[in-house]
Amino acid sequence: MPQGLANRLSVIVPSITLEVSGRANELRSRGVDVVNFGVGEPDFEPPAFVLDAAKSAIDAGKTSKYTAVTGIAALKQAICAASERRRGYLPTPDQVTVSVGAKHALFNLALALYEPGDEVIIPGPYWVSYPEQVRMFGAEPVLVPTTEEDGWRLAPADLQRALTPRTKAVILCTPSNPTGAAYGEDELRALLDVLRAHDCYIVVDEIYAELVYEGFRNVSAATIAPDLRSRLIIIDGVSKSYAMTGWRIGWSIAPRPIAKACDVVQGQSTTNPSAVAQHAAVAALTGPQAEVEAMRAVFQSRRDTMISALNAIPGVRCRKPEGAFYAFPDCSGLYGLPWKGKPITNDEELAFFLLDKAHVAAVPGGAFGAPGYLRFSYATSEERIRQGISAMHAAVEAASREK
């Protein structure tokens, strides 16, 4: 008999998101119309000029061969120019590693930086892959909880308490998946002031940075702390702002030694991202940005519709997020509703109750380190939002009458 799997896999937590998705797909296969609020991707198509650029690149024969491992020169230059436009920070192309999505950029970074004995501070609620990638390479994720009352933002004092001589990095995501919370300039400055006294890396995931609402001003750490750029790593990509999740183009902007390490890692794994997708990403970053603003405005309207509808359900309370496209309501007030002959006692049971009774798919908050909450994506039409939340409301009222 062959020996077993690598021990590193034993520390990775199975995805409840996949279980919810599997149950939803089973219902769909039986002809049930499931309103999917679990998916973290825009329902828009990329701008037409992006698709045209991809077609032109194919017609010109630019996409049939390997490219440079970490991206074509035109894309790296476009990323640098976009960073200067958005952040006032102009990195050099050798600081950029273009990867197969932002998740891949984070994976490269984890492999290059984390090892047994290291600690990586991650505020909770957190995107599910952050701690799992840390664990995969033998390091320890230090999960620091935040509260809804504090806007789901890490307090400087809590960050200070979590730092130790073993802290290798701190991961921040602003705006956040799953909460949609974002740090204002003063709040981010306060965290960076704490980190100045420590020599850890600062990883800032800015994949949702363009999707902020009601005049909220999203500020990058690279903008307000130029003195920290020697240990600051920015994660970004075209997936969310340009509705290009399937094209799988993300990147890191890092100090040169870290960028070089990520280049080495990628050179022994995927090699280059898809050539045609790289040319499409160049067009996205260098073309007119009006469609990005149009999508952002639609997301803001959808956010308002979803938050209002969720707050109308007895037992549900939802904060209005500053950005991204997620609502993260406290649904613990629905505990006790009957389901399958017994009362609901946790967010996983509640998610499956909603799927079975309302045909609504949402992700349990425990997967993000926030039991009692559910994550709803509003990256779908307002009609579907109203339909899904109305069905949820009806299911809750029907179950309440059974208590």
Q: What order do you get walking across the sheet with 326-327 strand by strand?
A: 326-327, 374-377, 363-364
Looking at the DSSP assignment, which residues form a beta bridge with residue 327? 376
Which residues form the domain of 70? 50-287
Query: Does 175 share its domain with 61?
Result: yes
Task: List all residues 6 or more positions away from 132 whose beta carbon is below 8 Å from its beta carbon.
Answer: 12, 13
Query: Does 207 share its domain with 332?
Result: no
Query: Does 113 share its domain with 66?
Result: yes
Query: Does 261 share its domain with 365?
Result: no
pLDDT number for residue 11: 83
The pair phi, psi for residue 334, each rounded to 5°, is -95, -5
Please write the tens of the pLDDT for every residue from 147-181.
999 999 999 999 999 999 999 999 999 999 999 99
Q: Does residue 1 surpass a pLDDT of 70? A: no
pLDDT number for residue 238: 98
Query: Does 93 share its domain with 174?
Result: yes
Query: Does 206 share its domain with 334?
Result: no
Average pLDDT over residues 287-308: 97
CA distance 298 to 115: 42
Residue 164, domain member (yes or no): yes
Please say whether the beta carbons of 187 and 194 come within 8 A: no
Query: Does 99 share its domain with 35?
Result: no
- Residue type present at position 368: F
Query: Does 97 share its domain with 176?
Result: yes
**In which band, very low, low, confident or very high, does the pLDDT at 291 lie, cut at 50, 70 and 90?**
very high
Please say whether the beta carbons of 287 and 54 come within 8 A: no
Strands 167-173 and 201-205, sheet pairing: parallel
Please write the tens of the pLDDT for every residue from 39-61.
888 999 999 999 999 999 999 99
pLDDT number for residue 304: 98
Single out the residue of 330, 339, 329, 348 nearest to residue 399, CA to CA. 339
Q: What is the CATH number of the domain that holds 99?
A: 3.40.640.10
pLDDT number for residue 220: 98
Domain boundary among 272, 287, 302: 287
Task: List all residues 6 or more positions away from 198 whose beta carbon is below 8 Å from its beta carbon.
Answer: 163, 167
Residue 56, domain member (yes or no): yes
Query: Does 89 share its domain with 103?
Result: yes
3-class DSSP assignment, residue 55 = helix
Query: Does 374 share its domain with 226?
Result: no
**In which band, very low, low, confident or very high, does the pLDDT at 205 lie, cut at 50, 70 and 90?**
very high
Q: What is the CATH number of the domain that holds 377?
A: 3.90.1150.10
Residue found by looking up tokens 């984890």 in the block = 110
Chain centroid offset of residue 370 CA: 16
pLDDT number for residue 153: 98
Chain centroid offset of residue 375 CA: 12
Single out the residue of 314, 367, 385 nearest to residue 376, CA to CA. 385
pTM for this model (two decimals): 0.96
Please write the tens of the pLDDT for every residue from 229-266.
999 999 999 999 999 999 999 999 999 999 999 999 99
Please write the tens of the pLDDT for every residue from 92-141.
999 999 999 999 999 999 999 999 999 999 999 999 999 999 999 999 99
CA distance 294 to 147: 32
CA distance 157 to 190: 10
Query: Does 37 share its domain with 158?
Result: no
Number of domains in the chain: 2
Tokens at 169, concatenated: 């990095």
Query: Does 85 share its domain with 192?
Result: yes
Please say whether the beta carbons of 163 and 121 come within 8 A: yes
Domain boundary among 287, 315, 336: 287
Tokens at 297, concatenated: 């405005």
3-class DSSP assignment, residue 88 = coil
